[in-house]
Amino acid sequence: MLLLDDLRDRVRKAVADLVEPVTVTLPRDDGSWVKGVNVSLIDQLTEAVATGLERGGGRRSGGPGLPICVAAVDLYAEAFDDFRAPGFTLKQSIEAIPATLAGIEDIAVLTRGLRMLQKLEASIERLFAPVKKVPLHGAICPMCDADSIVRDDELGEKVRMPALVADTVNGAECRNCKQSWSAENLEILAQLLTLGKE
């Protein structure tokens, strides 16, 4: 039962990450940082699709459009196919997922739903903020003890890569357990990594 509760909590968090406003930390020219709030990831995607369609882009119209808008239309269409419930917008459909999954006790179904939500979040983030993440080679995640993961690369080949990645804008994340540390907490992560080596 604990695993089911954990999965449902993770699904709720994944939904919140998609539909709630996003706090962003951006660098200033003077080297300092400023925090701001942006609309949700789903709203950003929806706005990019509207902008792309207004300019004639996107896979359905065949017009030239802007590259980001074409990618946004494709991603929106994929999400629409995966998540949309009849009579609801994409955002409303995603917001309803936790209630829909509340009675499901099939771990495989919950895990698949969670992975689909996480994939959508990662795809939207890559589309709008392609910040270069630096792999932390040799670092062991203090939460799950993973030092690497195996993923498919662009060619479909299995490759081993570091579990921990970091950047100065978003902070760090373990690609195995999904634990994250904000940019403000990178020093704490560094201390945890140092303690783990002793």
pLDDT score for 100: 86
The pLDDT tens digits of the residues spanning 25-35 come to 666 667 666 77
Average pLDDT score over residue span 69-76: 86
pLDDT score for 62: 43
CA R_g for the chain: 19
Q: Which one is predicted more confidently, 98 or 167?
A: 98
Is-contact 58 45, C-beta < 8 A? Answer: no
* pLDDT interval class at 36 (50, 70, 90): confident
pLDDT at 54 over 70: no
Is-contact 45 74, C-beta < 8 A? Answer: no
Which string of b and e fits 144-160 if b means at least 16 CB within 10 Å?
Answer: eebbbbeeeeeeeeeee
pLDDT score for 134: 85
pLDDT at 57 over 80: no
Q: How many CB atoms lie within 10 A of CB 37?
A: 9
Instruction: List the domain boundaries for the chain.
Output: 1-130, 132-198
The pLDDT tens digits of the residues spanning 106-149 come to 999 999 999 999 999 989 988 876 667 788 998 999 999 999 99
**What CA–CA distance (Å, rounded) separates 124 from 11?**
17
Please give the model's pTM, rounded to 2 decimal places: 0.58
Mean of all residue pLDDT scores within the chain: 83
